[in-house]
Structure 1
């Protein structure tokens, strides 16, 4: 069982998306652009917070989103890293990604638990039933950065990245696609292999 995070007095703790919208606007976020273009909706953000995939709090009077992200660098036999190249959303919209396998971690979730969940959720449709995951413990690296979110414009996000390298048996050695059931249809993801940056090579 995942333990509860310590209480934060300045966190959003509302019970509806409408309360969240009001909270965001108090924190200086223009929610009129949410649900337009590539931006997600306030309902999406409320769902994320409800699932404990992020925490929202005020910092200096401004709304701040805090997300712990597993950045999983899956290696193939050539030492290349698996990258998410493109997503095609259920409504037909597409967006370029150019990121390794990434998974939002729930509050207090250990990174090695998130690792196995990420592989199962993101890649299982392209893997054999008996696949195995081996991770390199000495590759674990933690870093934090602040940036704007394409999904939630105007909402500053603090990303806490937990990076680790791993090998997955049975994974295709060339470009491939996966599908994932989402509300409204299927999410199609296209994957490619790319050489790692020089500073990350073994």
Structure 2
């Protein structure tokens, strides 16, 4: 599990801004699907995809349609009674709600190990439940022997019409101090590293609030 995830292949060209990416995508995707990006509830827009590419979280193939490739870490957080923590739904910045019912998950950064991604995912998505400057990493224990990896290909719910290839890294873990009842957390936001990234972040559809609940292991989606 300590092996670093190979970085995504670089995009077929460098996209200077979201508009250049949009111009490249438009002739390669079904027009009705592309038009739904950021309009259909629960979807993201081209600013989101451009930020993913700029951050190295995603690569995209030069094909018709293109294929979005991304590495994701999934953390099955196990509670005291053996139940699994799932994200029931997300409140988005455009006012829509996206149903999830999935364990904690996060896109991996370039050269990031699964362990590093687990700690970052817990800190970013669950960290607001802990008060003060608490070191969230100290609360996380990854269960030995729980790591697995698989590749899954499916149509993206976030970007209609854009097929996706996911390298899924999964672990079981415990997180000390989580509420035993349903709870919600605020998304930790950060500014872009460049002016263009900051502008794109302001126009992207972002998660404002996560709603979590404990469910029986048998009810969790694979």
Q: TM-score, normalised by structure 2?
A: 0.79
Partners of 1:199 and 1:7 lie apart in 2 by 32
Deviation per CA, 1:153-201, whole angstroms, max 9, x where unpaired? 000000111000001111111110111255589711110011113899x
CA contact (8 A) 1:54 1:107 kept: no
For residue 162 of structure 1, give the secondary structure of its aligned residue in structure 2. Answer: strand
Query: Once superposed, what is the RMSD of the aligned Cα atoms?
Result: 2.6
2:57 is the counterpart of 1:53? yes
Q: TM-score, normalised by structure 1?
A: 0.87
How many pairs were matched up?
A: 197
The equivalences for 1:1-202 within 5 A come to 5=7, 8=10, 11-30=12-31, 31-38=34-41, 39-59=43-63, 61-128=64-131, 129-131=134-136, 132-182=139-189, 183=202, 187-197=208-218
- Cα 1:7–1:163 shift into 2, 3 Å: closer
- Could you tell me which runs of 5 or more consecutive residues in structure 1 were left unpaired when the two chains were aligned: none
Decide which structure has greater strand share. Answer: 1
Moved more, 112-121 or 33-42: 33-42
